[in-house]
Amino acid sequence: MGKQSQQQSSSRLDHGYGKTLKALQIELVKFQKHLISKGDRILILLEGRDSAGKDGTIKRIIEHLSPRDTRVVALGKPSTRDESEWYFQRYVPHLPAAAEFVLFNRSWYNRAGVEQVMGFCTDAQYEEFMETVPVFEQMLVRSGIQLFKYYLDIDKAEQKQRLKARLTDPLKQWKMSPIDAVAQKHWKDYSAARNAMFARTHTPVAPWTIVRANDKKLARINLTMDLLTRLSYHGKDHALLCPDPDVVFNYTQDAVTQGHVAA
């Protein structure tokens, strides 16, 4: 999508963002009612660079959902004990049980991103992860978990602006970390790590969906629309669920080589 086209879409959305968001949140409530009645298990992974908009997107998705049946998982720095365990072990206890809707704000893909870029894991640990994560995810899906992987993509200038805003906004300063402070310095390293992650972990069983997130409102609306199109529930408003393919789309190698994701 060109810059002018994105601006036009954003302008149109500004007039109806609140109305559209509310309608989508009603659809999410419909879905959760169906989920609880059927006892399904839903797992959403949200990945992306620092300041890509994961927190805000999750906040809008869960705003009106049942707190008893909805969980957001955002694990902190691993402990010494965590580091001695099988890598996936600290994530397994947080997987959804029957009728649960679970969202991971960052996930096991930390190893493919920040850990690899910042040297927090060895090359051997990284390679083991990249080789085994498709098998791990296949096991989850075969067990009955419905798994959805989203990557929120922003460009370098947008990240710089958002990180700067965190320094001056008293309500966002809790988001700043030493990792954020060097995010721009390692921009190209993160791009290379992201591209390798896509190429090696995008599978038919657990594919990646990319969301262009320079415009936060467009990203939230289109990600939610895309997710709802993939979920089964009674009373779905199909006319409402029309995600923009220029904003949210399935990963392909061409998406990287043709510049559809930030370089």
Give the rounded distance of the alpha carbon of 15 from its chain centre: 26
Residue 263: inside a domain, yes or no?
Answer: no
Residue 217: inside a domain, yes or no?
Answer: yes
Residue 46: inside a domain, yes or no?
Answer: yes
Please report the pLDDT score of residue 256 as a whole number. 95
Asked if residues 210 and 248 have their Cβ atoms less than 8 Å apart, the reply is: yes
Q: For residue 153, give its domain range.
A: 3-257
Asked if residues 152 and 219 have their Cβ atoms less than 8 Å apart, the reply is: yes
Can you list the residues of the chain whose pLDDT is less than 50? 1-4
Which residues, listed in sequence order, are joined to residue 127 by a DSSP beta bridge? none
Expressed in angstroms, the distance from the first to the final Cα of the chain is 15
Residue 262: inside a domain, yes or no?
Answer: no
Rounded to whole angstroms, how far apart are CA atoms 111 and 60? 27
Which residues, listed in sequence order, are joined to residue 71 by a DSSP beta bridge? 102
Rounded to whole angstroms, how far apart are CA atoms 206 and 201? 8
Asked if residues 209 and 248 have their Cβ atoms less than 8 Å apart, the reply is: yes
Asked if residues 194 and 84 have their Cβ atoms less than 8 Å apart, the reply is: no
Q: What φ, ψ does residue 151 adopt, rounded to 5°?
A: -120, 120
Residue 116: inside a domain, yes or no?
Answer: yes
Q: How many domains does the chain have?
A: 1
SS3 233: coil
Percent of the chain with pLDDT over 70: 94
The model's pTM: 0.93
SS3 123: helix
Residue 59: inside a domain, yes or no?
Answer: yes
Alpha helices in 119-215 (DSSP H): 123-142, 156-168, 178-181, 187-201
Residue 147: inside a domain, yes or no?
Answer: yes
Q: What does pLDDT average to over the chain? A: 94
pLDDT one-digit tens code per residue, 56-80: 999 999 999 999 999 999 999 999 9
Please report the pLDDT score of residue 175 as a whole number. 75
CATH at 63 = 3.40.50.300
Residue 177: inside a domain, yes or no?
Answer: yes
Rounded to whole angstroms, how far apart are CA atoms 159 and 258? 21
Rounded to whole angstroms, how far apart are CA atoms 20 and 17? 5
Rounded to whole angstroms, how far apart are CA atoms 228 and 34? 12
Q: Which residue has the tokens 């397994």?
A: 92
Task: Look at phi and psi of residue 171 and say left if phi exceeds 0, alpha if psi is from -120 to 50, else beta.
Answer: alpha
pLDDT one-digit tens code per residue, 121-134: 999 999 999 999 99
Asked if residues 35 and 99 have their Cβ atoms less than 8 Å apart, the reply is: yes
Cα separation values, 69 from 11, 24, 40, 119, Å:
35, 18, 11, 36
Q: Go through the chain and tell me how many residues it has.
A: 263
